[in-house]
Chain A
Amino acid sequence: MSVVIVGAGPAGTRAAEVLVGAGVRPIVIDEAPDNGGRIYQRQPAGFRRGARTLYGFEAAKAQAIHDIFDRLRPSIDFRPRTLAWNLRPGLIDTISDGKAGAIPVAQTILCTGAMDRVIPLPGWTLPGVFTLGGSQIALKAQGCAIGARVAFLGTGPLLYLVAYQYARAGAQIVCVLDTTPFTTKAAQAFALMRGGATFAKGLYYIAWLRAHGITIAEGVTSLAIEGDGQVEKLSWRDARGLRHEVAADAVAVGFGLKPEAQLADLAGVPFDFDPVQHNWVPRKDSNGQTSVEGVFLAGDGSGIQGADLAEAAGARAAWAVLAARGLTVDARAVARLDATLAAGSNFRAALERAFPFPATLAADMADDTILCRCEAITAGELRAAANEALATLPPSEVNRAKALSRVGMGRCQGRVCGAAAAEVLAASLSCPVEQVGRLRGQPPVKPIPILPAEAA
């Protein structure tokens, strides 16, 4: 019976490497045409930029992940352009090129990665607003900037990295707006310094941007995007409360990352609210093993840890799989991986504290701001459901709130709005956000067509 790795990014690639090294031939599934995940996404055939241009300081790591996978290809069963839409005991349901499939599985390592964490702002659904991650993909994988005058806003290390990458590529940046005040970041400086190279790179990006005259403002509030059918301008208040306005034709926005853990959810893995990440994360032990037999987790898909730790986690989970299959485990390799993972966790925690999720920005969003973009439901409509304005029992948690307001009922099934919806609901109910729970997942994890070919 097979080992299936879902996701061929840094975690999935290293997991495959360990398994192949032990003589196992894993099935590796990814929705993309090739490995690399998002951070090391390969550019399409015919594109010519080198690794240094695409991945900057991470060029060597990206190249390594690509090279390893290329070497592994004959020894794995790689199924690109394949969506795993459901995970049941012993079976993964897939759609690939419009055809249905079902893969029997003994152990699965879910390396499903992350997406940007989003807080709805006025005007965020306008054409021209993209996530930070999406803006990076436009540049890295398509050679495009999202616009001619791009504003960057949100918080987190990705904010500065993508702005830097855009500026280096010759795009025009109108401003970089960080909701986190300088003092919050400064307070984490000692803890962050333990991150060595990562911390240094972060400082470098910020310094470079400033040196090139790009406006950086920290501790910003009252963000609003405006325009008639597209982005035209952006307004905000700086740390002193002064209002600013700037013309822009594109906005790149993001507030950190959040795990894409829908398959773990469907598998029945329990979730816990992680107060540092300010996110629900699936429960796994330090090996990557979960309480569900045969289900292992690694990488950002089970808790944001960054690409380097994702590589270690992928390898570590693969060793756990080998142990579960009764195969020999390299104790020294495992010990090294455990040490890497342990050492990295403090830095990750400091990074989260340095760029905290601005929960109040979500909780305080105006009634007329669209909260659920799939269904065009405003924050006010969710609040009405919570505040007993509807003729029903009020919701005490997000699933009934969803049933009453339709927030989270759209194509993305709450992937984009879920975190902000929880903040709005919790604020309405005056309770901590973890108390309102999380949206219950149901298959398919992404839309599937009526009717896939060869559906049994």
Chain B
Amino acid sequence: MSTTATDVLIVGGGGVGCSTALHLARRGARCILLERGQVGGQASGVNYGGVRQQGRHPAELPLARRSREIWTKLPELIGTACEFEVTGHLKLARNKAEEADLIAYLDVAKSNELPLIMIGSNAIHQQYPWLGPDVVAGSFAPDDGAANPRLLSPALARAGRDAGADIREFTPVSSLAHDGTDFIVKSGAHEFRARFLVNTAGYWGGDVAKAFGEPVPVSPLSPNMLVTEPLPYFIAPNLGVVGGDVYLRQIRRGNVIFGGGRGHSDPDIPSSRPSPEASYAVMAKALQLVPQLAGIQVIRSWTGIDGEMPDDIPVIGPSRTTPGLFHAFGFSGHGFQLGPAIGAIMSELVLDGHTDVPLEPFRIERFAGHELFNHGGQRHEASHHA
């Protein structure tokens, strides 16, 4: 058994983990990131790519705002924008009830200083003549956009590596423990030791939490994604709907990326595959939004494994059982935009013991002693999807 000691171990190389490594390294902390496969191989790499504040659970808005500022500075921070474009996010209502939902969110946005513009039926069809007739209204977030999820984690990891972080891909974790002083994380014949452990393992963050006596109810979530052949560019904003059952955007090269519904997964292998039924269903929804897509060819579908919490917001914050352990996982299908800021926040929790963003809603304690979370509080399980 060979041993490597460091200051901070990070388990899980998605956007959050890689951002954590980068921010720790920039502050001179020694850290090692352990990733079972390749960075960004699961949720962070397979998601839709929305860089979105609109529609989030209010607790997430301060995180999203902080992250949005980092997104602007990505070229400076990591040498690439990861194809981030401020396309605006247009959240659509397909009936009166959905329109009411959009209107209700305006207050949430206002109190969080998130600019939103409500667009009524006539105006929306004038502004976006390619929208299907079922669309009755929309809420436009001019500050939102989209980026290329395949690029973010490898870019954050590269910048982290250049800043001194040790990024270990193809390094699966076989056991985690604490010996009273250090965390001991084993991978095959190798042992890693550190005073701090950051759990950014996505769906498997639940396994890490369980290893330290604080199990949480995290479920696998596999977003069913599709992409078309390239077609002439005409859909500028990133499109979403109330309820989050379809999301659609067109990249400048012309491909339309869209998704909705769930694929299938087996997180123990791990393996996942998209679902033809979900694909057909979301094709129908895409046609409802953009009828001109009829006859266009889908060339690929995919999915991956994200972690979903019963209240649809992540677990972020210090462990309730083990000092030095910090969690950031379970982003429930909407972690991509948050990744850059969460990494900064985790580095602050580790190095400073505190951060400027309120994390109370995300505390792991909320699951202590409960098998299933009681939904009695916020009714946000639908509206804060893409």
**Binding partners A and B:** yes
B298–A449 contact, CB under 8 A? yes
Q: Assess whether B301 is interfacial by the CB under 8 Å rule.
A: yes
B277–A449 contact, CB under 8 A? no
B301–A391 contact, CB under 8 A? no
Interface string of A393-420 (1 = CB under 8 A from B): 1000001100110000111010000000
CA distance A388 to B150 in the complex (A): 16
A450–B38 contact, CB under 8 A? no
Stretch at the interface among A53-61, A269-277, A324-332, A439-447: A439-447
B residues touching A (Cβ–Cβ < 8 Å)? 38-39, 45, 78-80, 150-151, 154-155, 157-159, 161, 167, 169, 228-229, 253, 273-274, 276-277, 280, 283-284, 286-287, 293-302
Other-chain residue from A266, A390, A451 in contact with B283 (beta carbon distance below 8 A): A451
Other-chain residue from B150, B167, B276, B299 in contact with A410 (beta carbon distance below 8 A): B299
B301–A442 contact, CB under 8 A? yes
B283–A391 contact, CB under 8 A? no
Q: A442-B302, A447-B297, A450-B294 are in contact. Are A400 and B38 (CB under 8 A)?
A: yes
CA distance A451 to B284 in the complex (A): 7
Query: Which residues of A sit under 8 angstroms from B286, Cβ to Cβ?
Result: 450
Q: A391-B158, A404-B151, A455-B283 are in contact. Are A447 and B298 (CB under 8 A)?
A: yes
Would you mind naming 15 contact pairs between A and B with Cβ atoms under 8 Å apart?
A: A266-B273, A375-B253, A391-B79, A392-B151, A399-B38, A400-B154, A404-B154, A411-B229, A413-B300, A447-B297, A448-B297, A449-B297, A449-B298, A451-B283, A456-B277
Q: Assess whether A93 is interfacial by the CB under 8 Å rule.
A: yes
A451–B161 contact, CB under 8 A? no
Query: Which residues of B sit under 8 angstroms from A449, Cβ to Cβ?
Result: 295-298
Q: Assess whether A88 is interfacial by the CB under 8 Å rule.
A: yes
Q: Assess whether A100 is interfacial by the CB under 8 Å rule.
A: yes
- Please give the distance in Å from B250's CB to the nearest CB on chain A: 13
Q: Assess whether A219 is interfacial by the CB under 8 Å rule.
A: no
Q: Assess whether A128 is interfacial by the CB under 8 Å rule.
A: no
CA distance A444 to B298 in the complex (A): 8
CA distance A173 to B167 in the complex (A): 56
What 4 A-B pairs come out closest when comparing CB atoms? A391-B79, A447-B297, A455-B280, A392-B154
Query: Which residues of B sit under 8 angstroms from A442, Cβ to Cβ?
Result: 274, 300-302
Query: Which residues of A sit under 8 angstroms from B38, Cβ to Cβ?
Result: 399-400
B161–A403 contact, CB under 8 A? no
A450–B274 contact, CB under 8 A? no
Query: Which residues of B sit under 8 angstroms from A403, Cβ to Cβ?
Result: 45, 150-151, 154
B293–A393 contact, CB under 8 A? no
A residues touching B (Cβ–Cβ < 8 Å)? 86, 88, 93, 100, 102, 266, 375, 388, 390-393, 399-400, 403-404, 409-411, 413, 442-444, 447-452, 455-456
- Please give the distance in Å from A412's CB to the nearest CB on chain B: 8
Q: A86-B276, A413-B299, A449-B298 are in contact. Are A392 and B229 (CB under 8 A)?
A: no
6 more CB-based (< 8 A) A-B contacts, given A393-B39, A449-B295? A399-B38, A411-B297, A443-B300, A444-B301, A447-B298, A455-B280
Most central of A102, A375, A450, A455 by chain B CB within 10 Å: A450
- Please give the distance in Å from A34's CB to the nearest CB on chain B: 25
Q: A391-B80, A392-B155 are in contact. Are A100 and B280 (CB under 8 A)?
A: yes
Most central of B154, B273, B295, B296 by chain A CB within 10 Å: B154
- Please give the distance in Å from A113's CB to the nearest CB on chain B: 21
B294–A451 contact, CB under 8 A? yes
CA distance A102 to B155 in the complex (A): 41
- Please give the distance in Å from B248's CB to the nearest CB on chain A: 11
Query: Which residues of B sit under 8 angstroms from A393, Cβ to Cβ?
Result: 39, 154, 157-158, 161, 167, 169
- Please give the distance in Å from B245's CB to the nearest CB on chain A: 15
B158–A451 contact, CB under 8 A? no
Query: Which residues of A sit under 8 angstroms from B161, Cβ to Cβ?
Result: 393
A391–B297 contact, CB under 8 A? no
Minimum CB distance partner of A399 in chain B? B38
Query: Which residues of A sit under 8 angstroms from B159, Cβ to Cβ?
Result: 391
CA distance A405 to B355 in the complex (A): 37
CA distance A392 to B15 in the complex (A): 13
Q: A403-B150, A404-B151 are in contact. Are A391 and B78 (CB under 8 A)?
A: yes
CA distance A391 to B302 in the complex (A): 25
A450–B287 contact, CB under 8 A? yes
Minimum CB distance partner of A385 in chain B? B154
CA distance A375 to B300 in the complex (A): 14
Other-chain residue from B80, B294, B298 in contact with A390 (beta carbon distance below 8 A): B80
Q: A393-B154, A442-B274 are in contact. Are A447 and B295 (CB under 8 A)?
A: no
CA distance A100 to B302 in the complex (A): 19
Minimum CB distance partner of B18 in chain A? A393
CA distance A86 to B302 in the complex (A): 12
Query: Which residues of B sit under 8 angstroms from A102, Cβ to Cβ?
Result: 276
Most central of A393, A400, A442 by chain B CB within 10 Å: A393
A455–B158 contact, CB under 8 A? no
